[in-house]
Copies of this chain bind each other. A is one copy, B any other.
Amino acid sequence: MEHDFQVAVIGLGLIGGSFAKAIKEYTDYTVIGCDTDQKVLQKALNEGTIDRALTEKKEIGRADMTILCLYPHQAVRFIEEHLEAFKPGSLITDTCGIKRYVVEQAQRLIGRRDLHFIGAHPMAGREFSGYDYSIPTLFAGASMILTPGEDTGKIEFMKAFSKALGFAHVEVTTPQQHDTVIAFTSQIAHVLSNAYVKSPNALRQAGFSAGSFKDLSRVAKLNETMWTELFLLNRDCLGYELDMLIEHLSEYRDALKDNQPERLKALLKDGRELKERIG
């Protein structure tokens, strides 16, 4: 690893705090941290999660790498506001759950400047948010999705960096492919879980639940501010998945209401076979 390589972690919430802690734990990089909450920043300094606080705009110029652990609009705004301050040749990355918007805006802003941007989505989280829940092992065994867009300059570094922090698998893809698939694997699961618990019978489930209820309701407790932003920035893809799911559910509902065992069984068989193919 390079000597005195400096990493700026912008936003010390669950993800940013965990990045800072993992970098301190698994690399010999210097960590510069920044958070709008002064108590969090002070705690991160006291605990040694960060080596130094980023207080002035120009200080970002010392960072060889900047990790934006912010919501999408904030992340783009940070790039915009620090465009002239970033260290020439340095790498900027993010941790947002959608990629087209962030990568397009970052590339537009960077233009022909000597800066590298690689979109990143660490597939890890907890049912709690904030610095206090951040842990250095958050990424252990998880997948990291990288969307370099047209900028592939630092991709090998990003892969090695991800592995060093504990990610078990690094997937390199396009922003479009990321947003398409993530609408299915993650976003719709959050909508579904959140919609599921709205049945009046959700309040009567104690004692009647095996694994299914737990599985389905697990992610209902979400941060609505963050997810609203993520969902709206992926409207086309998530809208497609929601249409698809509602359409499929209606088929089962109709077969059930029309009391058609063969049709219902065929629908269930199709799903079972698909699941066997997917694994």
Count residues of chain A with CB under 8 A from any CB of chain B. Answer: 90
Q: Are A264 and B199 in contact (CB under 8 A)?
A: no
Candidates B211, B229, B272; contact of A221 at CB < 8 Å:
B272
Contact of A201 among B125, B180, B202 (CB under 8 A): B180
A186-B212 in contact (CB<8A): yes
A232 to B252, CA, bound (A): 11
Residue-wise interface mask of A (171-195) relative to B, using a CB-CB cutoff of 8 A (1 in contact, 0 not)? 1010001101111111011111111
* With contact pairs A201-B241, A256-B235 given, residues A269 and B224 touching in the complex (Cβ less than 8 Å): yes
Bound-state Cα–Cα, A219 to B276, Å: 11
CB 8 Å contact bits of A184-226 with B (1 = contact, 0 = none): 1110111111111111111111011111110111111110110
* Residue from the list B124, B197, B250, B270 in contact with A275, Cβ < 8 A: B197
Given the interface contacts A246-B249, A256-B235, does A228 sit within 8 Å of B143 by beta carbon?
Answer: no
A123 & B208 in contact (Cβ 8 Å cutoff): yes
B208 touches A249 (CB 8 A): no
* CB <8 Å contact, A216 and B189: yes
Contact indicator A208/B178 (Cβ below 8 Å): yes
With A221-B275, A269-B224 given, is the CB distance from A264 to B207 under 8 Å?
A: no
Nearest-CB residue, chain B, relative to A220: B275
Q: Which positions 227-262 of chain A face chain B at CB distance < 8 Å?
A: 227-229, 231-232, 235, 238-239, 241-246, 248-253, 256-257, 259, 261
In the complex, A203→B270 CA distance in Å? 14
Q: Check B189–A212 contact: CB distance below 8 A.
A: yes
Nearest chain B residue, comparing its CB with the CB of A252: B191
Copies of this chain, whole number: 2
What is the CA–CA distance of A190 and B212 in the complex, to the nearest angstrom? Answer: 8
| Other-chain residue from B196, B201, B249 in contact with A195 (beta carbon distance below 8 A) | B249
Q: Whole-angstrom distance between the alpha carbons of A241 and B212 in the complex?
A: 15
Which residues of A132-187 are within 8 A (CB) of B? 142-143, 145, 169, 171, 173, 177-178, 180-186
Chain A residues in contact with chain B, CB under 8 A? 123-125, 142-143, 145, 169, 171, 173, 177-178, 180-186, 188-205, 207-213, 215-222, 224-225, 227-229, 231-232, 235, 238-239, 241-246, 248-253, 256-257, 259, 261, 264-265, 267-272, 274-278
Given contacts A198-B248, A221-B276, A222-B272, 4 further A-B contacts (CB under 8 A): A186-B212, A200-B244, A203-B277, A232-B261
Q: What 4 pairs between A and B have smallest CB-CB spacing?
A: A194-B271, A189-B212, A220-B275, A224-B268
